[in-house]
Amino acid sequence: GKSLALIIIACVKLGYMTKPTYQQLAGEFGDIGSRQAYTNYSDEIKFTASEISGAVKAVTKVMQEQCKCTPNVMQMHIINQVK
């Protein structure tokens, strides 16, 4: 749960997604644990700046590898998908 929460925080910070609700995650992934645990880990203050920075770098690297493009082009892809 904690690792997933960290990746979600990184994705939100990068603008890839908005913060999902407990219901949205449970609907998508099934049993994700208790609502209380989700609420606890979805708070940025539960992580150090270094943990968040590392997660942001890791997500950025994966997205660049998957998209085979620069961060600016990735943002354009995301914006176009939302339209």
**CA–CA distances in Å: residue 29 to residues 2, 12, 54:** 15, 18, 24
Report percent pLDDT > 90 for the chain. Answer: 27
- Confidence at residue 69, expressed as pLDDT on a 0 to 100 scale: 63
User: Residue 83: pLDDT band by 50, 70, 90 thresholds?
Assistant: very low
**pTM here?**
0.73
For 34-58, the pLDDT digits (tens) are 888 888 888 889 999 999 999 999 9
| Banded pLDDT at 28 (limits 50, 70, 90) | confident
